[in-house]
Amino acid sequence: MKQIKRIKGTQDILPPISQKWQYIEKTLRKVMRCYGYNEIRTPMFEMTELFARGIGQLTDIVSKEMYTFQDRSKKSLTLRPECTAPVIRAYLENNLGEARPVQKLYYISAMFRQENPQAGRLRQFHQFGVECIGPQAPEADTETILLGLDIYQELGLKNFSVKINSVGDVESRVAYKSQLKKFLKPQLNDLCQTCRERYESNPMRILDCKNESCNEILASAPRILDALSENARSHFEKVLSLLDQNGVEYEIDHRLVRGLDYYTFTAYEFIGGGLGAQNALGGGGRYDLLAQEIGSKKPVPSVGFAAGIERLIMAMDKENLFPEMRKNVDVFIATFGGKSQEAGFKLAHELRKNDISVLTELMGRSLKAQMREANRSGARFALILGEDELRNGRAALKDLQKSEQQEVVLGKLATEILKSRQM
């Protein structure tokens, strides 16, 4: 029979690589705590409508990348391609705004998008993200940027940068869209097919285009910062001044936009220097009007970002930032079968209650094969337990790292092993 393989664009995260994930997750949680964020876990699938409305029909994600299916009752469901809409849905559904006017929520979750798999672009990938829900103040925007940077810095990443822009408020965007369309109109035929299509439906997304010939045209396009309303301008200036005061270097990128109407004010990206084509580590911004899009009666000001974990691991590998992975096993108990095996099994059980990691022989192999296994497992010690040892209550504890051996009283084994951890 044909062997079943994993789905294209998914990954098995195997040991010891899974330890890299644990290391990152531990650091994320530590920094999140410092900023007063609490973890939220939403379902892996939601009503399709949530994403259609919460991300926007016009986006690539909704128009061609979602894993959408019908359940038996013919409801259209979708595996989450991102987590902002689910978090806001959960916030509204659970009245979290009533409990506290400022909700700071973070997630570390798998996302699903049917994209063309390549390095740094998967179909199941993982994001960590934050949503600061409630405050309208620019301080909240800057705080999310500082949080993201603190995470990268805490992980030791050097080669990364921040790009920032403002997409203004509704008023600014109405003004800007008409300026942009006026500028593009005479050159419409020189734009790529996608951009031509976007000209009417969503002209701001044209700024996102990576096509060479569009790039040339867009280089001299009007800038949204010049079209900002008074309110949007002062918001942006405050965000930048707080970044300056806190020693953050950033680049203003006039073409960084979120094309949809419920994105407001700040937009930013974290860029990984050594990542090649897929160099966006994360992206975020303010989305004050999203909650209404998914059913809230009033606007719920919010700002946040989402960042990829696979790309972060690639960036960290490039800079060699993972500490040496800890070998988990403290001791391998080798026995000679029969009584000694039962005694070894019991000893292992007792040691494990003392927070000691123990392997015992589960394949009934020879002592030589067991010692080979002990070395392969990376165990610090091997204990050889035979009938003599059981009778005397003493056994040889081999330090596999130092190639030394000492005799220990079996009753004091736990103490000896724990002592060695401090050395």
Q: Which residues bind ligand AMP (CB under 6 A)?
A: 82, 113, 115, 120-122, 125, 127, 280-283, 306-308, 310-311
CA dist 95 to 91, 99, 105, 300, 417, Å? 6, 7, 14, 12, 51
* Least Cβ distance, residue 62 to ligand AMP (angstroms): 12
Q: Using an 8 Å Cβ cutoff, are 172 and 228 in contact? A: yes
- Lookup: tokens for 420: 């060695």
Choose between 87 and 122: whose C-beta lies nearer to ligand AMP.
122
* Least Cβ distance, residue 73 to ligand AMP (angstroms): 30
Amino acid at 271: I
Choose between 113 and 173: whose C-beta lies nearer to ligand AMP.
113
* Least Cβ distance, residue 402 to ligand AMP (angstroms): 43
- Tell me the CA end-to-end span of the chain in Å, nearest whole number: 52
* Least Cβ distance, residue 23 to ligand AMP (angstroms): 18
Q: Using an 8 Å Cβ cutoff, are 24 and 137 in contact? A: no
Q: Using an 8 Å Cβ cutoff, are 263 and 208 in contact? A: no
* Least Cβ distance, residue 112 to ligand AMP (angstroms): 9
3-state secondary structure 349-377: HHHHHCCCCEEECCCCCCHHHHHHHHHHC
Choose between 122 and 333: whose C-beta lies nearer to ligand AMP.
122
Contacts of 401 (CB under 8 A, 6+ apart): 380
Q: Using an 8 Å Cβ cutoff, are 312 and 110 in contact? A: no
Q: Identify the three-state secondary structure at position 403.
A: coil
Choose between 115 and 150: whose C-beta lies nearer to ligand AMP.
115
How far apart are the C-alpha atoms of 357 and 349, rounded to whole Å? 10
Choose between 306 and 395: whose C-beta lies nearer to ligand AMP.
306
How far apart are the C-alpha atoms of 255 and 39, rounded to whole Å? 32
- Closest residue to ligand AMP in the complex (CB): 308
Q: Which of these, 269, 268, 266, 270, lies nearest to 233 by C-alpha position?
A: 266
Which strand (E) or helix (H) includes residue 269?
strand 264-272
Choose between 125 and 152: whose C-beta lies nearer to ligand AMP.
125
Q: What is the largest CA-CA distance in the chain?
A: 95
* Least Cβ distance, residue 282 to ligand AMP (angstroms): 5
Choose between 284 and 344: whose C-beta lies nearer to ligand AMP.
284
- Backbone φ and ψ for 181, nearest 5 degrees, come out as -65, -40
* Least Cβ distance, residue 305 to ligand AMP (angstroms): 8
Contacts of 402 (CB under 8 A, 6+ apart): none
* Least Cβ distance, residue 79 to ligand AMP (angstroms): 13
Identify the residue whose tokens are 């296994």: 373
How far apart are the C-alpha atoms of 420 and 365, rounded to whole Å? 28
* Least Cβ distance, residue 109 to ligand AMP (angstroms): 11
Choose between 89 and 380: whose C-beta lies nearer to ligand AMP.
89
**Residue 337, Cβ density class (10 Å: 0-12 exposed, 13-18 middle, ≥19 buried):** middle
Dihedral-angle region of residue 247 (phi above 0 means left; psi in -120 to 50 means alpha; beta otherwise): left
Between strands 264-272 and 103-112, the pairing is unpaired
* Least Cβ distance, residue 61 to ligand AMP (angstroms): 7
Amino acid at 274: G
Choose between 41 and 352: whose C-beta lies nearer to ligand AMP.
41
* Least Cβ distance, residue 204 to ligand AMP (angstroms): 16
